[in-house]
Amino acid sequence: MSTTTISTNTSPRKKVTTLTFRQKKERGEPLTMLTAYDYPTAMAVDKAGVDSILVGDSLAMVVLGYENTLPVTMDEMLHHARAVARGAKSSLLIGDMPFMSYQVSVEDALRNAGRFLQQGGMDAVKLEGGRERADAVRAITGAGIPVMGHLGLTPQSVHQLGGFRAQGKTASAAKRLFEDAQILEEAGAFSLVLESVPARLAEYISKHISIPTIGIGAGAGCDGQVLVTHDLLGLFERFTPKFVKKYASLHETMTQAFADYIDDVESKRFPAVEHTVEMSDEEWDAFQKELK
């Protein structure tokens, strides 16, 4: 049974900003981030008090059923970003730039980052990659749009990486990853996701850059943690990465609820009297007369 209480205070939390991110790192307070792709989930995640909501391109896999994150488009991301923005009032909202929305040119990157704020209601954007993205990060932050970087296992490069595999495990790969983190910091990123990298490397990077790191499969030495909400809730059954902690089994809960409903309808237990609309005897008699 959970011992964590959810605040019943009806006044909204103070809005989390990129400044909050910096201050929490300075104070050594862990940052929390979760993904959301729709209005009710965004409401619940925001109400629970998460620092930041990522409208992740993991949408492609956990909501749209694709094999990887590559097929999801800018328009689809914006559609879900708007729903999340309507549901969350206090968390920092980050739109994940989908495959091919920032790789072709810096102009494309800037235009599409702007769309996340202008049309998607987001506060910031996230993009994958290191030194090869430095110009894009500079241009986007130069336009006043906060950028979160993403290093390590970068799912949009799944084919180049040869699968969803941990990164930075050799001395040279670790050095390159650390350099990339420094380059992104220098380019103006306000924070950095580290995905599937050795815990000791993630901790080293976190201690040697000034911007907060948010880990996923990167151990406890990061400045914050992120999980894909569908993994945490047990809603995505296809596979569960090793680094996920499941806090619920909603796929089973949902399947059971649907089976109960089918059973109720088939055995005529639903709808019951309390689920039906009544009509007075007087009106019913009048109706019968109308028919004659």
The candidate with the shortest Cα–Cα distance to 142, out of 167, 105, 113, is 113
Amino acid identity, residue 50? V
Q: Where are the beta strands (DSSP E) in the chain?
A: 31-35, 52-55, 92-96, 124-126, 147-152, 191-195, 213-216, 224-227
Residues 5-64 that bind ligand KIV (CB under 6 A): 35, 54, 56-58
Shortest distance, CB of residue 140 to ligand KIV, whole angstroms?
17
Tell me if 112 contacts ligand KIV by CB under 6 A: no
Q: Given CA atoms 153, 154, 156, 157 in this order, what sign does their dihedral have?
A: negative
Is the CB of residue 190 less than 8 Å from the CB of residue 18?
yes
Cα Dmax for the chain: 91
End-to-end CA distance of the chain: 62
Q: Which residue number has the CB closest to ligand KIV? A: 56
Q: What's the CA gap between 96 and 78, in Å, rounded? A: 10
Return the number of the residue (57 or 223) whose C-beta is nearest ligand KIV: 57
Residues 166-225 that bind ligand KIV (CB under 6 A): 193, 216
Size of the site for ligand KIV (CB under 6 A): 10
- Candidate residues 87, 94, 95, 96; the one interacting with ligand KIV per rule CB under 6 A: 96
Return the number of the residue (24 or 150) whose C-beta is nearest ligand KIV: 150
Residues 227-286 that bind ligand KIV (CB under 6 A): 228
Catalytic residues: 195
Return the number of the residue (164 or 270) whose C-beta is nearest ligand KIV: 164
Task: List interacting residues with ligand KIV (CB under 6 A).
Answer: 35, 54, 56-58, 96, 193, 216, 226, 228
